Amino acid sequence: MKFSLSWLREHLDFTASLDEICARLNKIGLEVESVENPAQKLAGFRTAKIKEAHPHPDADRLQLCRVAAGAGYEDLQVVCGAPNARAGLHVIFAPPGTYVPGLDITIKKGKIRGEESGGMLCSLKELGLGEETGGIAELSPTAPIGEPYAVYADLDDPVIEISITPNRGDALSIRGIARDLAASGIGHLKPFLTEAVEGKFEPSITWKKDEEGCYFVVGRIVRGVKNGPSPEWLQKRLKAVGVKPISALVDVTNYLTYDLGRPLHVFDVAKLSGNVLTVTQAARETFTALDDHEYVLGTDDLVIVDDAGVQSLAGIIGGKSSGVDENTTDVFIEAALFDPVKIALTGRRLGVHTDARQRYERGIDPALVRNGLEAATGMIQELCGGEASEVTEVGALPQWERTATLRFERLETLGGVKIQPDEAIRSLEHLGFEVVEQNDESVTLSVPSWRNDVASGKFLSQGVTLDEVIARKAAAHVERMEAENDLIEEILRLYGLDNVEPVALPQLSLVPPSAVTPKQARSTLLRRVCAERGLMETVGFSFVAYDDAVLFGEVPESQRLLNPIATDLNQLRPTPLVNLAKALSRNLARGLGFSGEAALFELGPCFDGEGQHLRLAGLRGGLTAREPGKSAQDASIWEAKADLFAALNALGVPEASLQVTTDHLPMFYHPGRAGNVTQGPKLVLGSFGELHPRVVRTLGLSGTVVAFELYLDKVPLPKAKRKTSIVLSTLQPVRRDFAFLVKNDVEAQAVIKAVRAGDRNLIQDVRLFDIFEGKTLPEGYRSLGIEVTLQPQTESLTDARLEAVSQAIEAAVLKATGAVLRR
């Protein structure tokens, strides 16, 4: 919101300086964003008079002007190329050292074609104040010589821009800003007086409305007007706030929009069809607005129509077909009260930003509808002449009257300051509140019409008061509390928030709580683990093609999309491996995987008949990088298993509690080259293995592709336990190798588990390092090489102790699997 200091004086009688006003605006919550003073940009320019003008001896288009510009510049020569430079002309002079904003140069003293030039004679365009006129600016013959041009042209008028919060629609008017400043102690607010204009005839246009989005609308005709440029004072004020003057009729509506916060619109009566203007909803039609843009209106957009169609987008912008111009003689003035939500939604959908929309959607003064019409009528008659009709209206002003109650003790308990009741009430009265009832503990005040943000509520139908509605609501106490908080905010705003002593919030804990949940933390941990293992993260759609989804499991009809965003995204994915396999296929087709293994992973949702689940999935394909003495290798199933176990280990799942089984493997794995990882007999935590050759071929892949999945929803969160210090043994660990002869149907995992049971206190690690099958072994048997790490804690291991442990391991394996040591 912009306003000039001179415009502010129309509503506020003050002697405060510009700095004091800006400081006070910041104090009361109307934050100053910028202050611009045109006089500062024009420092150095002064009025002058050309005493003589002669042709330049060496240039046909240049003249040598003898100029008088006041003290210090009584008689100097200036070379000028303007065709209108002549003796006796009063002009704008820029002495050396003056910055010319229109040319972005600084004037220097010098020679032009051999003649001295001691400055520059300027046009308004060169000062950044006007358009090109083909010569230097010609001032009035009575213009004083040597006066600063900004003072002479009355340009020493600072323009202040403030930021407005969405709840302060009343501050989108210069009168509203003046009211706040006066309440804070800056000057005195001048009375707002609007005389009613007597209607001389019945209007030929009447109102009709069939839409609840319009509460109340009034209008009148002014006939016999003469439209043309508005007076200089009006144009200057509009330009100061960034509004381009158009014509007197239009400028009046723009002026009152800023001056009172009262949007208005004028129609050219001769361009309207019929004698009724109707406020209604649009019917999916096109509308050409005053900004020359064509808008396609929806059925929720509020419009004003005549017999020919839409003439205005209500509360936002008028139509081009009924706009006023220099030939307009009769106008119809509209002032209304529209639903702010409806205006906001229409403006956002169509992308239309206007001053009227900005004020309507923040809430305008409902009591200013008729007064705004009277003010516009008076200004139009003053500037354009004409005769006014009676007022036509439809609807009724909503019941905006409401009250708010303040308990004095809340000023300290909520506001944090001790303010005397009389002082608090006086502050609110300066803002327009009026005392309805008062006692020693509280005060009830009526809220002024322009403060829609205090004790706010949707406008109610005629005859139903806000108090009656609040009494019916279950949340009446909450609404009264909000109204009281609004009053406290207003008192503190005028008191000065910088005067409120800061108080630290109570410290709930010496250690701040974690910013992420355990589930979020482990998702981040898993991503880091996969990245450390050389897998690159991808993010895929939850929607995939049905033909791809069926390769990776069941695709129930309930997970089919009836209205997909694309024909190849019509199925919710059963596993992230669908996206990973497609991504791997695209990457391998472009060469990734020939100079190094391609490895991808994703942590994301998947879907089945039971709902949505969270899974970590990874995929490896292509060939490993070639090295001296070593040929490139296909991806290995053991890499996929290691990826899965690394993820489980990071989640705190003990490896000793895990088993690998081949029961109920997912259908997309290669039979005999995959496994499920379980904890206990029933809890399946994940799977790994080679993709089925059929899946590999269908997806256009080649070679061996291995994958893993971690069913993250099934991995229980670790129980919170007290951390203990790590005890490191000072004794040397001992490693012993065992070769067990076992039947081919005995799983290596069973042997490893049995080894661990040999001595749980001493055995630190068990690892399978060899599998041997050959003719030297009995038929149906194989040899498993097991490395066992023994870590003593209190004393070194003796030969006798090592022998006892070895025998215990042999006995445990024999009992669990029937395996014996290979001799």
Reduced 3-state DSSP string for 466-507: HHHHHHHCCCHHHHHHHHHHHHHHHHHHHHCHHHCCCCCCCC
User: With contact defined as beta carbons under 8 Å apart, do 119 and 78 qualify?
Assistant: yes
663 and 760 share one domain: no
- Mean pLDDT for 271-280 is 94
- What separation, in Å, do the N-terminal and C-terminal C-alpha atoms of the chain show? 95
Dihedral through CA 480, CA 485, CA 488, CA 494, nearest 10?
-120
Give the residue from 683, 714, 745 where a domain finishes. 714
Percentage of the chain beyond pLDDT 90 is: 64
Tell me: do 570 and 443 sit in the same domain. no
Is the same domain home to 278 and 347? yes
Label residue 398 exposed, middle or buried (CB < 10 Å: 0-12, 13-18, 19+): middle
Predicted local distance difference test score (pLDDT) of residue 462: 43
Whether residues 774 and 651 fall in one domain: no
- List C-alpha distances in Å: 540 to 41, 572, 605, 606: 56, 12, 10, 11
In this structure, the answer to whether residues 581 and 704 fall within a common structural domain is yes
Q: Secondary structure of the chain: what % helix, strand, coil (to 5)? A: 30, 30, 45
pLDDT band at 477 (very low <50, low <70, confident <90, very high): low
Residue 468's pLDDT band (boundaries 50, 70, 90)? low
Q: Say if residue 47 is in the same domain as residue 30.
A: no
| pTM, two decimal places | 0.63
* Domain interval for residue 182: 2-37+158-189
Provide mean pLDDT across the span 425-437: 94
The whole-angstrom separation of Cα 273 and Cα 275 is: 7
pLDDT at 426 over 90: yes
Q: What is the pLDDT of residue 459?
A: 46
Q: Closest Cα to residue 391, out of 179, 271, 216, 621?
A: 216
Tell me, yes or no, whether 698 lies in a domain.
Answer: yes
Q: Are residues 254 and 278 in the same domain?
A: yes
Same structural domain for residues 345 and 236?
Answer: yes
88 Cβ contact partners less than 8 Å away, ≥ 6 residues apart: 49, 50, 141
724 — pLDDT class (breaks 50, 70, 90): low
In a domain, 552, yes or no: yes
Within a domain: residue 729?
no
Residue 490 annotated as binding site: yes
pLDDT at residue 623 in the model: 80
Find out whether 453 is annotated in a ligand binding site. yes
CATH number at residue 772: 3.30.70.380
Integer angstrom CA distances of residue 95 from 61, 107, 521, 676? 22, 7, 69, 90
Q: Which amino acid appears at position 590 of this protein?
A: R
Using DSSP, how many helices (H) and how many strands (E) does the chain show? 21, 42
Is residue 711's pLDDT more than 90?
A: yes
pLDDT at 479: 62
Same domain, 263 and 321: yes
- Asked whether residue 621 is assigned to any structural domain, the reply reads yes
Residue with the bigger pLDDT between 116 and 726: it is 116
60 pLDDT tier (thresholds 50, 70, 90): confident
Q: CA-to-CA distance for 4 and 23, rounded, in angstroms?
A: 16
Residue 37's pLDDT band, with cuts at 50, 70 and 90, is confident
For residues 260 and 173, the answer to whether their CB atoms sit within 8 Å is yes
User: Which pLDDT value is given to residue 457?
Assistant: 54
**CATH number of the CATH domain containing 573:** 3.30.930.10
pLDDT at 464 over 50: no
* Cα 196 to Cα 193: distance, rounded to the nearest angstrom: 10
CA–chain centroid gap for 782, Å, is 67
More confident: 555 or 328: 328
**What does the pLDDT read at residue 463?**
45
Domain presence at residue 79: yes
Same domain, 361 and 454: no
The rounded distance, in Å, linking the Cα atoms of 31 and 15 is 21
Residue 27 lies in a domain: yes
In a domain, 195, yes or no: no
d(CA 170, CA 176): 5
Per-residue pLDDT tens over the stretch 578-621: 999 999 988 888 876 555 578 999 999 999 888 899 999 999 98
Tell me the pLDDT tens digit for each residue of 166-206. 889 999 999 999 999 999 999 999 998 888 999 999 999 99
Last residue within a domain, chosen from 498, 532, 558:
498
pLDDT for the residue numbered 409: 93
- Look up the CATH number of the domain holding residue 6: 3.30.56.10
Does the annotation flag 486 for ligand binding?
A: yes
pLDDT at 474: 45
pLDDT for position 478:
61
Give the span between the Cα atoms of 798 and 236, in whole angstroms. Answer: 104
599 and 454 inside one domain: no
pLDDT in the model for residue 250: 96
The tokens for 346 are 């229409």
Q: What is the pLDDT of residue 456?
A: 66
Mark whether 473 and 622 lie in a shared domain: no
Q: Answer whether residue 194 is part of any domain.
A: no
Instruction: Among 498, 527, 545, identify where a domain stops.
Output: 498
* Number of compact structural domains in the chain: 6
Element (H, E) at 789: strand 781-790
- Cβ-Cβ contacts under 8 Å for 180 (sequence gap 6 or more): 28, 30, 171, 431
Task: Say whether pLDDT at 471 is over 60.
Answer: no
Lowest-confidence region among 11-15, 50-54, 589-593: 589-593
